[in-house]
A and B are shown apart, each in its own frame.
Chain A
């Protein structure tokens, strides 16, 4: 929430919200996937964004939330039932955070006009909406966002693993 507020300060930073958030999700992802070997852990992780998408619009929202569930299921399946190894966690985490870069940004890039008009109608300042219209007009930027998110997830997972190895495993906690 706090993070979302900070990242929303201007139209330019909002676009990198998925990347920054996925960094922290990446760290958490390692701990959750190692420590909670029970099934459904990732699914529960996915419930909140799923509900968010579901609520955020009618048809787009429903498609979005189905997408999140689908991604969570795939991520869950990659982890498998047994205690996952390092590679599996990374791949699964990368799949999982796709929801932010692909689904979360889909409306912004695919329906830029509608998105911007909605923002305007909600009372967001005109200059910012123009910024956004320009920015989301550049479709190649979407690829950049997806790549940046994947990279940040990767770094997050790497840090998570480092903490795992340096501390938690050494202390015999996992």
Chain B
């Protein structure tokens, strides 16, 4: 099952709102379960077992290990474990968006929503560039492994500078080349055509979108109520 871009974006924003509002771990587990279920019925690759295991581990660390751990360890781990854990619903929603949205679909939807073309194009290219960036980073790391780039530099601070430079320079160079080549490819395919583009994959919001949006809204409202009104 695939939902609309807009639905995913609303989900991301609201899930982040819930994370910061909600303090009840049971509610959070409920939200996580719902998102995981949604991932399971979404496109292939939306469900990432590793992420879920990560979440469960953090949960266990916080509620099983912390009470029995020495105080120093707890104070060292508490902030990262708790903070990252509570943002997991949002991370999961971002994964959903990323795995279920085609770039062409995103562009078409944004154009319908009258987002300025400049924003849409830059965003499309940026989204497209993220996976390439990772690959490039690995290549540069390997190239650096093959050469002792900081040879002959004694001073640790300067060594660090040299390493930083060696990592950044090829990355920037390739980013610049890539962006030039991508924009050449984009303009020769009429990306700046002022007529409204069509999209084979564009669909208006459907019943499933409204259902998911409705559930999300209710959960958020529940979190708001818990925090600001009612029993608290």
Which residues does A use to contact B, with CB under 8 Å?
Answer: 5, 8-11, 14, 27, 31, 35-36, 38-41, 43-44, 51-52, 54-58, 61, 118, 121-125, 127-128, 163, 167-168, 171, 173-174
Contacts and interface: CB of A to CB of B under 8 A. Distances in A.
B90 interface: yes
Contacts of B86: 122
Contacts of B19: 55
Contact of B17 (A9, A41, A43, A56): A56
A68 B116 CA distance: 19
A118 B76 CA distance: 19
A55 to B, nearest CB: 3
A124 B224 CA distance: 21
B211 interface: no
Contact of A51 (B13, B20, B116, B122): B13
B165 interface: yes
Contacts of B71: 127
How many chain B residues sit at the interface, stated as a range, is 35 or more
A31 B169 CA distance: 11
Interface stretch (B39-47, B105-113, B170-178, B193-201): B170-178
Interface of B is mostly: helix
B75 A127 contact: yes
Contacts of A58: 17, 21, 224, 228
Interface of A is mostly: helix
Contacts of A124: 78-79, 82-83
B84 A5 contact: yes
B80 A9 contact: yes
Given A5-B80, A8-B79, A44-B119, A167 B14 contact: no
Given A35-B179, A55-B13, A171-B173, A125 B78 contact: yes
Contact of B172 (A11, A41, A44, A163): A163
B218 interface: no
